[in-house]
Amino acid sequence: MFSKSSRQDWSFSAISAGFVAVLVGYTSAAAIVFQAYQSAGASLEQIGSWFTLLGFGMGITTMGLSLYYRTPILTAWSTPGAALLVTSMPGIAINDAIGVFIFANALIFLAGITGLFAKMMRYIPQALSAAMLGGILLRFGLDAFASLQSNLALAGSMCLVYLLAKRFLARYAVILSLAIGLAVAAMQGNIAFHGQSLHVAAPLLIAPHFSWSTLIGIGLPFFIVTMASQNAPGIATLHASGYKVPVSPLIAVTALVTVLLAPFGVYSIGIAAITAAICMGKEVHPDPAKRYTAAVAAGIFYLLAGVLGGSIGTLFTALPAPLIHTIAGLALLGTISGSLYRALTEESQRDAAIVTFLITASGIQLFGVGSAFWGLVGGVITHLILSFTPKSSQKNQEKISHPQP
pLDDT score for 405: 52
pLDDT score for 262: 93
pLDDT score for 392: 55
pLDDT tens figures, 208-237: 999 888 898 889 888 988 887 778 777 867
* DSSP conformational letter for 369: B
| Mean pLDDT value across residues 238-256 | 85
Confidence of residue 283 (pLDDT cuts 50, 70, 90): low
From residue 325, how far is each of 46, 147, 173, 234 by CA, in Å? 22, 7, 16, 26
| pLDDT above 80 for 51 | yes
pLDDT score for 119: 65
| Mean pLDDT value across residues 10-37 | 77
| Mean pLDDT value across residues 275-284 | 74
| Mean pLDDT value across residues 255-277 | 88
pLDDT score for 120: 59
pLDDT score for 60: 96
Of the two residues 403 and 217, the one the predictor is more confident about is: 217
* DSSP conformational letter for 172: G
* Least trusted range by pLDDT, from 103-112, 249-258, 390-399: 390-399
Using a pLDDT cut of 90, give the percent of the chain over it: 23
| Mean pLDDT value across residues 18-37 | 78
Confidence of residue 194 (pLDDT cuts 50, 70, 90): low
Under the phi-then-psi rule, with left for phi > 0, alpha for psi from -120 to 50, and beta for the rest, what region is 367? left
Rounded-to-integer distance, Cα 83 and Cα 106, Å: 20
pLDDT tens figures, 292-301: 998 999 999 9
| Mean pLDDT value across residues 126-149 | 82
| Average pLDDT, rounded, for the chain | 81
pLDDT score for 8: 62
Q: Which residues contact 108 (CB under 8 A, 6 or more apart)?
A: 223, 226, 227, 231, 251, 254, 255, 258, 270
Half-sphere exposure of 172 (CA within 13 A, CB side): 10
pLDDT tens figures, 52-107: 899 999 999 999 999 999 999 999 988 878 888 888 888 888 999 999 999 999 99
pLDDT tens figures, 100-135: 999 999 999 998 888 776 565 556 677 887 787 788
Cβ pair 284, 17 in contact under 8 A:
yes
| pLDDT above 70 for 404 | no
| Mean pLDDT value across residues 382-387 | 86
* DSSP conformational letter for 9: T
